[in-house]
Protein backbone atom coordinates (compact mmCIF):
# COMPACT_ATOMS: atom_id res chain seq x y z
CA UNK A 1 0.00 0.00 0.00
CA UNK A 2 2.82 2.42 0.89
CA UNK A 3 4.57 1.70 -2.43
CA UNK A 4 1.31 2.32 -4.32
CA UNK A 5 0.77 5.66 -2.57
CA UNK A 6 4.35 6.65 -3.31
CA UNK A 7 3.87 5.83 -7.01
CA UNK A 8 0.64 7.85 -7.12
CA UNK A 9 2.30 10.84 -5.44
CA UNK A 10 5.21 10.77 -7.87
CA UNK A 11 2.81 10.30 -10.79
CA UNK A 12 0.69 13.31 -9.83
CA UNK A 13 3.77 15.44 -9.19
CA UNK A 14 5.31 14.45 -12.52
CA UNK A 15 2.12 15.24 -14.41
CA UNK A 16 1.71 18.62 -12.74
CA UNK A 17 5.25 19.47 -13.80
CA UNK A 18 4.63 18.15 -17.30
CA UNK A 19 1.47 20.15 -17.78
CA UNK A 20 2.37 23.43 -16.11
CA UNK A 21 6.13 23.96 -15.87
CA UNK A 22 8.87 24.63 -18.42
CA UNK A 23 11.64 22.02 -18.58
CA UNK A 24 14.98 21.64 -20.21
CA UNK A 25 14.97 19.53 -23.35
CA UNK A 26 15.96 15.95 -22.57
CA UNK A 27 14.66 14.05 -25.62
CA UNK A 28 14.32 10.92 -23.49
CA UNK A 29 11.47 9.43 -25.52
CA UNK A 30 12.02 8.27 -29.09
CA UNK A 31 9.60 5.76 -30.55
CA UNK A 32 7.52 4.81 -33.57
CA UNK A 33 4.00 3.44 -33.70
CA UNK A 34 1.61 2.42 -36.45
CA UNK A 35 -1.36 4.34 -37.76
CA UNK A 36 -4.05 2.04 -39.15
CA UNK A 37 -6.26 3.51 -41.84
CA UNK A 38 -9.97 3.23 -41.11
CA UNK A 39 -10.99 2.98 -44.78
CA UNK A 40 -9.45 0.24 -46.93
CA UNK A 41 -10.36 -1.10 -50.39
CA UNK A 42 -12.62 -4.14 -50.65
CA UNK A 43 -13.22 -6.43 -53.59
CA UNK A 44 -17.01 -6.03 -53.67
CA UNK A 45 -16.88 -2.24 -54.09
CA UNK A 46 -13.39 -0.86 -54.78
CA UNK A 47 -14.55 2.76 -54.46
CA UNK A 48 -16.71 2.65 -51.33
CA UNK A 49 -13.75 3.34 -49.03
CA UNK A 50 -13.03 6.49 -51.06
CA UNK A 51 -16.64 7.67 -50.79
CA UNK A 52 -16.68 6.98 -47.05
CA UNK A 53 -13.43 8.91 -46.53
CA UNK A 54 -14.69 11.91 -48.50
CA UNK A 55 -18.03 12.12 -46.70
CA UNK A 56 -16.47 11.60 -43.29
CA UNK A 57 -13.99 14.32 -44.17
CA UNK A 58 -16.80 16.82 -44.69
CA UNK A 59 -18.38 15.96 -41.34
CA UNK A 60 -15.04 16.28 -39.60
CA UNK A 61 -14.38 19.63 -41.26
CA UNK A 62 -17.72 20.86 -39.92
CA UNK A 63 -16.69 19.87 -36.42
CA UNK A 64 -13.31 21.61 -36.67
CA UNK A 65 -14.91 24.71 -38.16
CA UNK A 66 -17.34 24.97 -35.25
CA UNK A 67 -14.53 24.60 -32.76
CA UNK A 68 -12.54 27.33 -34.52
CA UNK A 69 -15.60 29.58 -34.97
CA UNK A 70 -15.78 29.11 -38.72
CA UNK A 71 -18.54 27.97 -41.07
CA UNK A 72 -18.90 25.57 -43.97
CA UNK A 73 -21.30 25.39 -46.85
CA UNK A 74 -21.78 21.62 -47.21
CA UNK A 75 -25.34 20.28 -47.47
CA UNK A 76 -26.44 18.60 -44.20
CA UNK A 77 -27.83 15.50 -45.96
CA UNK A 78 -24.27 14.55 -46.94
CA UNK A 79 -23.04 14.36 -43.34
CA UNK A 80 -21.87 10.94 -42.15
CA UNK A 81 -19.81 9.75 -39.20
CA UNK A 82 -16.59 11.65 -38.64
CA UNK A 83 -14.50 9.39 -36.48
CA UNK A 84 -11.14 10.17 -38.06
CA UNK A 85 -9.02 8.48 -40.70
CA UNK A 86 -6.46 6.61 -38.58
CA UNK A 87 -6.30 4.65 -35.35
CA UNK A 88 -3.30 3.83 -33.17
CA UNK A 89 -2.87 1.12 -30.54
CA UNK A 90 -1.33 1.76 -27.14
CA UNK A 91 -1.46 -0.04 -23.79
CA UNK A 92 -2.41 1.38 -20.42
CA UNK A 93 -2.38 0.20 -16.82
CA UNK A 94 -0.65 -2.57 -14.91
CA UNK A 95 -1.13 -5.21 -16.16
CA UNK A 96 -1.20 -3.49 -19.59
CA UNK A 97 -4.55 -3.43 -21.39
CA UNK A 98 -4.93 -2.57 -25.11
CA UNK A 99 -6.44 0.76 -26.15
CA UNK A 100 -7.19 1.47 -29.82
CA UNK A 101 -7.70 5.21 -30.17
CA UNK A 102 -8.53 7.49 -33.09
CA UNK A 103 -5.35 9.49 -33.75
CA UNK A 104 -6.69 13.04 -33.94
CA UNK A 105 -4.53 16.06 -34.72
CA UNK A 106 -7.68 18.19 -34.41
CA UNK A 107 -8.31 17.58 -30.70
CA UNK A 108 -6.36 17.27 -27.44
CA UNK A 109 -8.10 15.01 -24.95
CA UNK A 110 -6.99 11.39 -24.50
CA UNK A 111 -9.96 9.27 -23.46
CA UNK A 112 -11.20 5.70 -23.55
CA UNK A 113 -14.32 3.88 -22.40
CA UNK A 114 -14.07 2.51 -18.88
CA UNK A 115 -15.90 0.18 -16.55
CA UNK A 116 -18.42 0.66 -15.11
CA UNK A 117 -20.03 1.99 -18.27
CA UNK A 118 -23.61 3.23 -18.19
CA UNK A 119 -23.78 4.26 -21.86
CA UNK A 120 -21.11 2.95 -24.20
CA UNK A 121 -20.68 2.18 -27.91
CA UNK A 122 -19.32 -1.07 -29.32
CA UNK A 123 -15.54 -0.89 -29.44
CA UNK A 124 -12.45 -2.66 -30.76
CA UNK A 125 -10.98 -3.85 -27.41
CA UNK A 126 -12.42 -4.87 -24.04
CA UNK A 127 -13.34 -1.79 -21.99
CA UNK A 128 -10.65 -0.66 -19.58
CA UNK A 129 -11.33 -1.64 -15.97
CA UNK A 130 -9.51 0.74 -13.58
CA UNK A 131 -10.09 -1.58 -10.63
CA UNK A 132 -7.76 -4.15 -12.19
CA UNK A 133 -4.80 -1.77 -12.59
CA UNK A 134 -2.31 -1.11 -9.79
CA UNK A 135 -1.12 2.15 -11.39
CA UNK A 136 -4.49 3.87 -11.91
CA UNK A 137 -5.23 7.01 -9.90
CA UNK A 138 -8.35 9.18 -9.92
CA UNK A 139 -7.80 12.93 -10.13
CA UNK A 140 -9.66 14.80 -7.42
CA UNK A 141 -11.46 18.07 -8.03
CA UNK A 142 -9.98 21.33 -6.69
CA UNK A 143 -6.48 20.08 -7.62
CA UNK A 144 -4.05 21.56 -10.18
CA UNK A 145 -4.54 18.60 -12.54
CA UNK A 146 -8.32 19.08 -12.53
CA UNK A 147 -7.90 22.74 -13.44
CA UNK A 148 -6.03 22.16 -16.72
CA UNK A 149 -9.29 21.72 -18.67
CA UNK A 150 -12.17 24.23 -18.82
CA UNK A 151 -14.74 21.41 -19.14
CA UNK A 152 -14.13 19.74 -15.75
CA UNK A 153 -16.44 19.80 -12.71
CA UNK A 154 -16.75 18.08 -9.33
CA UNK A 155 -18.73 14.88 -8.98
CA UNK A 156 -21.95 15.14 -6.99
CA UNK A 157 -21.71 11.78 -5.24
CA UNK A 158 -19.51 12.91 -2.36
CA UNK A 159 -16.33 11.40 -3.81
CA UNK A 160 -15.09 14.79 -5.12
CA UNK A 161 -13.81 13.23 -8.33
CA UNK A 162 -12.67 15.48 -11.17
CA UNK A 163 -15.30 14.91 -13.84
CA UNK A 164 -15.14 15.97 -17.47
CA UNK A 165 -17.77 16.45 -20.16
CA UNK A 166 -16.63 16.92 -23.74
CA UNK A 167 -18.63 16.99 -26.96
CA UNK A 168 -17.66 17.17 -30.62
CA UNK A 169 -19.38 19.14 -33.36
CA UNK A 170 -20.78 15.99 -34.99
CA UNK A 171 -22.75 15.05 -31.85
CA UNK A 172 -20.22 12.60 -30.40
CA UNK A 173 -19.56 13.01 -26.69
CA UNK A 174 -17.83 11.58 -23.64
CA UNK A 175 -18.54 12.06 -19.93
CA UNK A 176 -16.24 10.57 -17.33
CA UNK A 177 -13.65 11.21 -14.66
CA UNK A 178 -10.10 12.45 -15.13
CA UNK A 179 -7.35 10.08 -14.03
CA UNK A 180 -3.66 9.34 -14.36
CA UNK A 181 -2.37 6.05 -15.65
CA UNK A 182 0.74 4.46 -17.06
CA UNK A 183 0.73 4.31 -20.89
CA UNK A 184 2.99 2.12 -23.02
CA UNK A 185 3.65 3.67 -26.43
CA UNK A 186 5.48 2.21 -29.39
CA UNK A 187 5.39 -0.88 -31.60
CA UNK A 188 7.24 -4.08 -32.34
CA UNK A 189 9.63 -2.17 -34.62
CA UNK A 190 10.78 0.25 -31.90
CA UNK A 191 11.60 0.32 -28.20
CA UNK A 192 8.35 0.94 -26.28
CA UNK A 193 8.13 3.95 -23.99
CA UNK A 194 6.33 3.86 -20.64
CA UNK A 195 5.01 7.16 -19.28
CA UNK A 196 2.28 8.39 -16.90
CA UNK A 197 -0.41 10.41 -18.70
CA UNK A 198 -3.52 12.36 -17.79
CA UNK A 199 -6.62 10.98 -19.53
CA UNK A 200 -10.37 10.68 -19.17
CA UNK A 201 -12.05 7.43 -18.15
CA UNK A 202 -15.33 7.69 -20.06
CA UNK A 203 -18.45 6.18 -18.49
CA UNK A 204 -21.07 7.75 -20.79
CA UNK A 205 -20.07 7.97 -24.45
CA UNK A 206 -21.80 8.03 -27.79
CA UNK A 207 -22.15 9.52 -31.23
CA UNK A 208 -20.74 8.45 -34.58
CA UNK A 209 -18.21 5.82 -33.49
CA UNK A 210 -18.28 2.68 -35.63
CA UNK A 211 -16.69 0.09 -33.36
CA UNK A 212 -13.15 0.33 -34.78
CA UNK A 213 -11.85 2.30 -31.81
CA UNK A 214 -12.13 2.59 -28.04
CA UNK A 215 -11.84 6.38 -27.79
CA UNK A 216 -9.59 9.20 -28.99
CA UNK A 217 -5.90 9.99 -28.66
CA UNK A 218 -5.58 13.76 -29.09
CA UNK A 219 -2.47 14.83 -31.01
CA UNK A 220 -3.28 18.56 -31.09
CA UNK A 221 -1.25 21.32 -29.49
CA UNK A 222 -3.37 21.80 -26.35
CA UNK A 223 -2.08 21.16 -22.85
CA UNK A 224 -3.56 17.66 -22.34
CA UNK A 225 -2.74 16.15 -25.74
CA UNK A 226 -0.29 13.28 -26.11
CA UNK A 227 2.11 15.61 -27.93
CA UNK A 228 2.04 18.19 -25.13
CA UNK A 229 2.26 15.66 -22.31
CA UNK A 230 5.32 14.07 -23.92
CA UNK A 231 6.61 17.63 -24.37
CA UNK A 232 10.34 18.22 -24.21
CA UNK A 233 10.89 14.58 -23.29
CA UNK A 234 10.27 13.83 -26.98
CA UNK A 235 12.08 16.96 -28.09
CA UNK A 236 8.72 18.55 -28.96
CA UNK A 237 8.73 16.62 -32.24
CA UNK A 238 6.47 14.17 -34.04
CA UNK A 239 6.18 13.14 -37.68
CA UNK A 240 4.09 10.82 -39.82
CA UNK A 241 4.17 9.27 -43.27
CA UNK A 242 0.73 8.46 -44.73
CA UNK A 243 0.30 5.84 -47.43
CA UNK A 244 -2.08 6.74 -50.30
CA UNK A 245 -5.76 5.91 -49.96
CA UNK A 246 -5.44 3.66 -53.04
CA UNK A 247 -2.71 1.57 -51.42
CA UNK A 248 -3.48 -1.92 -50.15
CA UNK A 249 -1.11 -1.29 -47.24
CA UNK A 250 -3.23 -0.33 -44.22
CA UNK A 251 -0.56 1.03 -41.89
CA UNK A 252 1.34 4.30 -41.82
CA UNK A 253 4.04 5.43 -39.39
CA UNK A 254 3.82 7.93 -36.53
CA UNK A 255 7.15 8.92 -34.95
CA UNK A 256 8.15 10.83 -31.82
CA UNK A 257 11.40 12.29 -30.54
CA UNK A 258 14.58 11.51 -32.47
CA UNK A 259 12.60 9.10 -34.67
CA UNK A 260 10.61 12.10 -35.93
CA UNK A 261 13.62 13.73 -37.58
CA UNK A 262 12.91 14.96 -41.13
CA UNK A 263 16.11 15.70 -43.03
CA UNK A 264 18.09 15.09 -46.20
CA UNK A 265 17.48 15.99 -49.82
CA UNK A 266 14.16 17.48 -50.82
CA UNK A 267 13.10 18.79 -47.41
CA UNK A 268 11.27 22.12 -47.31
CA UNK A 269 10.07 23.83 -44.13
CA UNK A 270 7.51 26.47 -43.19
CA UNK A 271 6.64 28.16 -39.87
CA UNK A 272 4.34 26.09 -37.64
CA UNK A 273 1.89 28.44 -35.93
CA UNK A 274 -0.13 27.81 -32.78
CA UNK A 275 -2.51 30.65 -32.05
CA UNK A 276 -2.84 31.65 -28.41
CA UNK A 277 -6.62 31.28 -28.55
CA UNK A 278 -6.54 27.99 -30.49
CA UNK A 279 -3.57 25.98 -29.25
CA UNK A 280 -5.09 22.74 -30.49
CA UNK A 281 -4.67 23.45 -34.20
CA UNK A 282 -1.49 23.52 -36.28
CA UNK A 283 -1.66 26.52 -38.60
CA UNK A 284 0.45 27.24 -41.68
CA UNK A 285 0.45 30.27 -43.95
CA UNK A 286 -0.49 29.55 -47.56
CA UNK A 287 0.55 32.23 -50.06
CA UNK A 288 -0.57 30.73 -53.38
CA UNK A 289 -1.32 27.58 -55.37
CA UNK A 290 0.13 26.90 -58.82
CA UNK A 291 -1.55 24.74 -61.45
CA UNK A 292 1.44 23.60 -63.46
CA UNK A 293 3.21 26.95 -64.05
CA UNK A 294 0.19 29.19 -63.46
CA UNK A 295 0.44 30.77 -60.00
CA UNK A 296 -2.78 31.83 -58.26
CA UNK A 297 -2.23 34.03 -55.21
CA UNK A 298 -4.56 33.84 -52.24
CA UNK A 299 -6.88 36.88 -52.14
CA UNK A 300 -5.80 39.73 -49.83
CA UNK A 301 -7.54 40.62 -46.61
CA UNK A 302 -7.12 37.35 -44.74
CA UNK A 303 -5.06 36.51 -41.64
CA UNK A 304 -1.46 37.70 -41.46
CA UNK A 305 1.47 35.29 -41.92
CA UNK A 306 2.14 35.21 -38.18
CA UNK A 307 -1.47 34.07 -37.55
CA UNK A 308 -1.62 31.45 -40.29
CA UNK A 309 -4.54 30.87 -42.66
CA UNK A 310 -4.80 27.09 -43.09
CA UNK A 311 -4.79 24.16 -40.65
CA UNK A 312 -2.84 21.01 -41.48
CA UNK A 313 -4.90 18.03 -40.32
CA UNK A 314 -4.26 14.31 -40.88
CA UNK A 315 -7.86 13.37 -40.04
CA UNK A 316 -9.51 15.38 -42.82
CA UNK A 317 -9.31 13.73 -46.24
CA UNK A 318 -9.96 16.74 -48.49
CA UNK A 319 -8.18 20.07 -48.77
CA UNK A 320 -10.56 23.00 -48.29
CA UNK A 321 -9.90 26.57 -49.44
CA UNK A 322 -11.76 29.92 -49.50
CA UNK A 323 -14.42 29.89 -52.20
CA UNK A 324 -13.08 32.68 -54.43
CA UNK A 325 -9.58 31.22 -54.24
CA UNK A 326 -10.79 27.69 -54.91
CA UNK A 327 -12.86 28.81 -57.91
CA UNK A 328 -9.75 30.19 -59.61
CA UNK A 329 -7.86 26.95 -58.98
CA UNK A 330 -10.76 24.85 -60.25
CA UNK A 331 -11.01 26.91 -63.44
CA UNK A 332 -7.27 26.50 -64.09
CA UNK A 333 -7.44 22.74 -63.49
CA UNK A 334 -10.52 22.35 -65.70
CA UNK A 335 -8.73 24.22 -68.48
CA UNK A 336 -5.67 21.98 -68.30
CA UNK A 337 -7.47 18.59 -68.24
CA UNK A 338 -8.62 17.49 -71.67
CA UNK A 339 -11.44 15.22 -70.56
CA UNK A 340 -15.24 15.62 -70.47
CA UNK A 341 -16.63 16.89 -67.19
CA UNK A 342 -19.18 14.80 -65.28
CA UNK A 343 -21.03 15.06 -61.99
CA UNK A 344 -19.55 13.58 -58.85
CA UNK A 345 -21.55 10.46 -57.87
CA UNK A 346 -20.75 11.21 -54.20
CA UNK A 347 -22.43 14.64 -54.61
CA UNK A 348 -19.62 16.32 -52.68
CA UNK A 349 -16.81 17.22 -55.07
CA UNK A 350 -17.18 20.00 -57.60
CA UNK A 351 -14.78 19.08 -60.42
CA UNK A 352 -14.90 15.57 -61.92
CA UNK A 353 -13.94 14.08 -65.25
CA UNK A 354 -14.81 11.00 -67.29
CA UNK A 355 -11.70 9.07 -68.22
CA UNK A 356 -9.10 6.55 -67.18
CA UNK A 357 -5.88 4.97 -68.33
CA UNK A 358 -2.24 5.85 -68.73
CA UNK A 359 -2.98 8.38 -71.47
CA UNK A 360 -4.81 10.68 -69.03
CA UNK A 361 -2.63 13.65 -68.07
CA UNK A 362 -3.34 15.71 -64.96
CA UNK A 363 -1.61 18.89 -63.86
CA UNK A 364 0.76 19.23 -60.93
CA UNK A 365 -0.43 21.49 -58.14
CA UNK A 366 2.13 23.33 -56.04
CA UNK A 367 1.14 24.71 -52.65
CA UNK A 368 3.28 27.75 -51.88
CA UNK A 369 3.53 27.96 -48.10
CA UNK A 370 5.60 30.63 -46.40
CA UNK A 371 9.15 29.50 -47.25
CA UNK A 372 8.14 26.09 -48.63
CA UNK A 373 6.90 25.09 -52.09
CA UNK A 374 5.20 21.67 -51.92
CA UNK A 375 4.69 20.13 -55.36
CA UNK A 376 1.84 17.62 -55.42
CA UNK A 377 1.61 14.96 -58.15
CA UNK A 378 -1.76 13.80 -59.45
CA UNK A 379 -1.98 11.06 -56.82
CA UNK A 380 -2.31 13.73 -54.11
CA UNK A 381 -5.00 15.86 -55.74
CA UNK A 382 -7.10 13.55 -57.93
CA UNK A 383 -8.94 10.39 -56.93
CA UNK A 384 -11.23 7.89 -58.61
CA UNK A 385 -14.64 7.84 -56.93
CA UNK A 386 -16.26 5.45 -59.41
CA UNK A 387 -15.33 3.48 -62.50
CA UNK A 388 -13.72 5.95 -64.93
CA UNK A 389 -14.75 8.97 -62.81
CA UNK A 390 -11.89 10.97 -61.31
CA UNK A 391 -12.33 14.10 -59.18
CA UNK A 392 -10.26 16.96 -57.83
CA UNK A 393 -9.89 16.47 -54.05
CA UNK A 394 -10.14 20.17 -53.23
CA UNK A 395 -13.25 21.97 -52.08
CA UNK A 396 -14.46 25.45 -51.20
CA UNK A 397 -15.06 26.58 -47.64
CA UNK A 398 -14.75 29.57 -45.34
CA UNK A 399 -12.52 27.35 -43.19
CA UNK A 400 -9.22 26.23 -44.74
CA UNK A 401 -7.77 22.76 -44.14
CA UNK A 402 -4.80 20.97 -45.70
CA UNK A 403 -6.04 17.39 -45.72
CA UNK A 404 -4.53 13.93 -45.65
CA UNK A 405 -4.74 13.18 -49.39
CA UNK A 406 -2.42 16.12 -50.06
CA UNK A 407 -0.09 14.79 -47.34
CA UNK A 408 0.26 11.19 -48.58
CA UNK A 409 3.74 10.08 -49.63
CA UNK A 410 5.31 12.93 -47.68
CA UNK A 411 7.20 12.58 -44.42
CA UNK A 412 5.69 15.45 -42.45
CA UNK A 413 7.47 16.63 -39.32
CA UNK A 414 6.04 18.85 -36.59
CA UNK A 415 8.75 20.59 -34.55
CA UNK A 416 6.87 22.34 -31.75
CA UNK A 417 9.95 23.74 -29.99
CA UNK A 418 11.37 25.36 -33.11
CA UNK A 419 7.94 26.23 -34.54
CA UNK A 420 8.64 24.54 -37.86
CA UNK A 421 6.79 22.08 -40.07
CA UNK A 422 8.75 20.11 -42.68
CA UNK A 423 7.77 18.21 -45.84
CA UNK A 424 9.88 15.54 -47.52
CA UNK A 425 8.55 13.62 -50.57
CA UNK A 426 9.00 9.86 -50.00
CA UNK A 427 7.32 6.55 -50.75
CA UNK A 428 5.48 5.96 -47.48
CA UNK A 429 4.74 2.33 -48.36
CA UNK A 430 8.45 1.61 -47.88
CA UNK A 431 8.43 2.81 -44.26
Burial class for 207, CB neighbours closer than 10 Å (0-12, 13-18, 19+): middle
Per the annotation, the verdict on 108 as an active-site residue is no
The secondary structure of residue 298, as a DSSP letter, is P
What phi and psi, each to the nearest 5 degrees, are found at residue 184? -110, 120
Question: CA torsion angle for 31, 32, 33, 39 (degrees, to 10)?
Answer: 150
Closest CA to 119 of 80, 173, 179: 173
Task: Using alpha carbons, list the distances in angstroms from residue 423 to 245, 312, 407.
Answer: 19, 12, 9
Per the annotation, the verdict on 104 as an active-site residue is yes
Out of 108, 170, 313, 415, which one is annotated catalytic?
313
Residues 6+ apart with CB under 8 A from 409: 241, 242, 243, 244, 379, 380, 425, 426, 427, 428
User: Which long-range contacts (C-beta less than 8 Å, at least 24 apart) are formed by 380-384?
Assistant: 380/405, 380/406, 380/407, 380/408, 380/409, 381/319, 381/405, 381/406, 383/50, 383/245, 383/246, 384/47, 384/50, 384/246, 384/356
Neighbours of 11 (CB within 10 A): 19
- Answer whether 244's CB lies under 8 Å from 409's CB: yes
Rounded Cα distance between 189 and 276, Å, is: 37
C-alpha triplet 308, 313, 314: angle, nearest 5°: 155
Query: H/E element holding 13?
Result: helix 2-20
Out of 39, 83, 104, 232, which one is annotated catalytic?
104
Which residues carry out catalysis?
A: 104, 313
Amino acid sequence: MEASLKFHSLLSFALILALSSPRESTSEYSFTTELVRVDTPNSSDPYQHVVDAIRRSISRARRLSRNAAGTLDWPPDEITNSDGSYTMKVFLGNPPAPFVGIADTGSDLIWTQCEPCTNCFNQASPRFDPSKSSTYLNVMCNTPLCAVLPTTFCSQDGNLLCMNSYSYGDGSFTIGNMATENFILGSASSQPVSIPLLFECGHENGGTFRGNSDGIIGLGGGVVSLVSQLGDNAGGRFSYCLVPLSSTKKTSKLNFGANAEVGGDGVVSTPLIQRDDQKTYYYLYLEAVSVNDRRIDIPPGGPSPDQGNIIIDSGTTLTLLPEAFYNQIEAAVAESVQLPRVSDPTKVLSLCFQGAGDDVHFPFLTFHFNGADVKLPALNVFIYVANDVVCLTLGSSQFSLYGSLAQTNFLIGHDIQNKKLSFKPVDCSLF
